[in-house]
Structure 1
Amino acid sequence: MQAKTWTDEAAAQAAGMDAARLHALADGLHQNYVASGKLPHLRLLISRDEKPLLNHVSGAARATGEPLRNDALFRIASMTKPVTSAAFMMLVEQGLVALQDPVTDVLPEFSALTVGMDRQPLRRPMRMIDLLRHTSGLTYGLQRQTPIDALYREQGLDEFHQKRGPGEFIEAVARLPLEFSPGERWNYSISTDVLGVIVERLSGTDLGSFLADRIFAPLDMTDTFFRLPDDRAGRMTDAWQLGSDGRLSLYERGERSSWRRNLRLRSGGGGLLSTAEDYHRFALMLLRGGELDGVRLLRPETIAMMHANQLPGGADLASLSSSMFSEADYADVGFGLGFATDLVTQEFFWGGVFSTFFFVHPRERIIGLLMTQHFPSNVYPLRRAFRDGIKAAILKGYAG
């Protein structure tokens, strides 16, 4: 498997990073995961002080053996959630909605929600903040723990491309009981898909247009969208899945991707396609407190609120979560408004079910992007190795 790694040694040295260790990290991940056949490909991007220090591409973008390109398009799945959450917070700043507003202010369909299979009443209303931090009581069918998530599977509420439009989707969710009363536990869920519909209703436009006009165009993110344009289908990666026999099989071909279809619902929780470079620009905006290249999307205090732990009582996921599946470890990890936050280092991060991942370390001013297309995302300790390897490359005594 061919691998290409570019490291800017001078920029790394100036930024207090060991270029040789960064190069060794990329080479090690390639050898351990791509060359060994565990992953089809790997795309890495690492920056500090807003300067790219490492770019890495390895493996095949397609089952035909076509090498992965720098500008390859990936299904980023739940890395859509931070983007949708940022969009919602823009509406908060506009004064159109508040975090403590009841969800029923915008979604009257939720006025008769109940809890549990015995349909108990809610102990308090579901609020907007519950959707952002996944304390809503909603769930994912993929959790496979309860009779309620079985109902989600029956209704197909986890599917990336819904057969329902936004209104029908909300009505279908409203007919099902919650796992718990809002605010009482944390459970990874379709909350951000619901949030995306709220953004549509408050803004009066579809989610794709809102994100394109308010986030992607201002940040010059030219390769991020819900529907794959025909003229970029050649850059779309194949996606792979791990079978019960431990072997990789093709999940979806890039040139025949379901992301080329017309969409009825734009999934605010998992529907975006993007490149490493594009998502790095979004992460840079977060690192810079809501601004990039002279364009401000959000106020610094809003960004600080988003990556602060917002779980009730300052709890971590280990103590509050009832979720079998997530995109994060649980101990010493909190959850903000759209992504997880490390309660020790203050890093914030999230990933997607196809094993994509990003993290931002505000104190060290580091961003790490990892892209591949392997389902599911919790098979290998890839993300931990990536984060730890980057931290190990920080030179001691660097004052910044």
Structure 2
Amino acid sequence: MVSIKITSDPAEVGFAADRLARIDRRFDRYVDEGKLPGYLAVVTRRGEVVHVGHGGQRDVEAGAPVTPDTRWRIYSMTKPVTSVAAMILFERGEFELTDPISRWLPEFAAPRVYVKGAATAPGTVPAVEPIRVWHLLTHTAGLTYGFHHAHAVDEIYRRNGYEWGWPSDVDLAGTVEAYASMPLVHQPGAEWNYSVATDVLGRLVEVVSGQSLDAFLAEHVFGPLGMADTGFWTDSPELAALYSPEPGTGRLLRNDLMGAAATKPPKVLSGGGGLVSTAGDYHRFTQMLLRRGELDGVRLLAPRTVDLMASNHLPGNADLEAFGRPLFSETSYAGVGFGLGFSVELNPVAGKSLGAAGEFAWGGAASTAFWVDPANELTAMFFTQLLPSSTYPLRPQFRTLTYQALVS
């Protein structure tokens, strides 16, 4: 187990300890008010861990506290991991980012795009260009999520059993075939729409590599980085319980219906949201990214590859506010672009944020989050298990509380 612990006096790397303590006070208040079951917050600079704050319970009913070794469903924080896996194959010359994915996933040979009508009788037209690898990495493929409840195609996903999961009788290959059979929300490359694209990317990794996604990640990401406690399920008693707010009251309700999925081997290996991890493990992943592809003498990616991933790939250097489909989020899209697997901070002033240009980041459905700030040599991670992530403004508050403590 890779445990997370403080390794440096904050003052030695430019942080004020008394200001870092504000992080814990803020989130302790959420716990005391019954808004969060528990939390874990980690801040690092120049490779040194300067703050590990935690409070509340990983399992309220059992009275089990959050500890630095608690395991968390990281949901969409899986996406950057799968994106790194894909870029490992890219570096080996297995594909170009501009290649049509139908070369490996023939079910996407002739996608159709929704133009009108109800979910029961949608009007569609042929896609004017193929879905390419970079469309999957940037969420511009035209795919969607059933849980958006924002478009007729979202409803089509739900009607086929794809909202917060998938039908019980399909594996990843069958799931991706189902996605290919449903209309696209928009023409490939025309807009940004958060979607199952990274699940399709995970299947692409499988077909190109000849390995299952879990085997590929274990051999080429988790093993080299020493992430021994990360995988698609766990039987550890340290797994946190999942909670959702009760409609109307906001009272925390245990969500075992969704939470139990992480306790047994899944039929669908979700590269978009299936991983369980620890702060110690994900810290090693973020440090590899901060160090541009290398950690402790082990290199996963070339520096130029990480730089490419952390660059804005939206056409015309647009931000998500201009190029993205509006989705309810506690985090502003103004001044934020999107790279190959991460959001990318373009202009903190536009987003009214204390963050730094060049940050790249993402979060998970249960309110987890991380970011990497190359300019300030800083990483930060926040873990809890509250679904959905839009319940409270945890991520922007964590960002503010982190940067107000950076004093030199």
Q: Deviations over 1:41-86 (max 9, x none)?
A: 0111111010010111210111221111211110000000000000
Query: Match for 1:111: what amino acid?
Result: A
Query: Match for 2:157: what amino acid?
Result: Y
Aligned equivalent of 1:144: 149
Q: Is the 8 A contact 1:162 1:265 kept in 2?
A: no
Aligned equivalent of 1:133: 138
SS of the equivalent of 1:58 reads: strand
Match runs of 1:1-400 below 5 Å: 11-31=9-29, 33-62=30-59, 63-116=61-114, 117-160=122-165, 163=168, 164-228=170-234, 230=235, 232=236, 234-245=237-248, 246-252=250-256, 257-325=260-328, 328-344=331-347, 345-395=357-407, 398=408
Distance in 1 (CA, whole Å) between partners of 2:329 and 2:85 is 22
Distance in 1 (CA, whole Å) between partners of 2:184 and 2:240 is 36
* CA distance 1:101–1:43, change in 2 (3 Å): same
- TM-score normalized by the length of structure 1: 0.93
Percent identity over paired residues: 42
Structure 1 residue 380: Cα displacement: 1.1
Distance in 1 (CA, whole Å) between partners of 2:215 and 2:167 is 18
Structure 1 residue 250: Cα displacement: 0.6
Distance in 2 (CA, whole Å) between partners of 1:162 and 1:91 is 30
Q: Is the 8 A contact 2:320 2:336 kept in 1?
A: yes
Distance in 2 (CA, whole Å) between partners of 1:269 and 1:386 is 24
Structure 1 residue 325: Cα displacement: 4.3
Query: Match for 2:16: what amino acid?
Result: D
For structure 2, the 5+ residue unaligned runs are 115-121, 348-356
Q: Is the 8 A contact 1:327 1:351 kept in 2?
A: no
Q: Is the 8 A contact 1:162 1:264 kept in 2?
A: no
Query: Match for 1:309: what amino acid?
Result: N
Q: Deviations over 1:137-190 (max 9, x none)?
A: 000011101111001112222444652112211221111100010010000000
Query: Match for 2:360: what amino acid?
Result: F
* CA distance 1:326–1:185, change in 2 (3 Å): farther
- TM-score normalized by the length of structure 2: 0.91
Structure 1 residue 327: Cα displacement: 7.8
Q: Is the 8 A contact 2:40 2:54 kept in 1?
A: yes
Query: Match for 2:71: what amino acid?
Result: L
Distance in 1 (CA, whole Å) between partners of 2:328 and 2:139 is 13
Q: Is the 8 A contact 2:43 2:50 kept in 1?
A: yes
Q: Is the 8 A contact 1:7 1:19 kept in 2?
A: no
Query: Match for 1:17: what amino acid?
Result: F
Distance in 2 (CA, whole Å) between partners of 1:280 and 1:323 is 31
Q: Is the 8 A contact 1:188 1:323 kept in 2?
A: no
Q: Is the 8 A contact 2:172 2:270 kept in 1?
A: no
Distance in 2 (CA, whole Å) between partners of 1:100 and 1:327 is 33
Distance in 2 (CA, whole Å) between partners of 1:283 and 1:264 is 28
Structure 1 residue 355: Cα displacement: 0.3
SS of the equivalent of 2:80 reads: helix
SS of the equivalent of 1:331 reads: coil
Query: Match for 2:31: what amino acid?
Result: V
SS of the equivalent of 2:84 reads: helix
Distance in 2 (CA, whole Å) between partners of 1:24 and 1:159 is 34
Q: Is the 8 A contact 1:41 1:58 kept in 2?
A: yes
* CA distance 1:152–1:290, change in 2 (3 Å): same
Structure 1 residue 326: Cα displacement: 5.7
Q: Is the 8 A contact 1:72 1:237 kept in 2?
A: yes
Q: Is the 8 A contact 1:188 1:325 kept in 2?
A: no
Structure 1 residue 312: Cα displacement: 1.4
Aligned equivalent of 2:354: none
Q: Is the 8 A contact 1:7 1:23 kept in 2?
A: no
Q: Cα RMSD over matched residues?
A: 1.7
Structure 1 residue 27: Cα displacement: 1.8
* CA distance 1:327–1:152, change in 2 (3 Å): farther
SS of the equivalent of 1:119 reads: strand
For structure 1, the 5+ residue unaligned runs are none
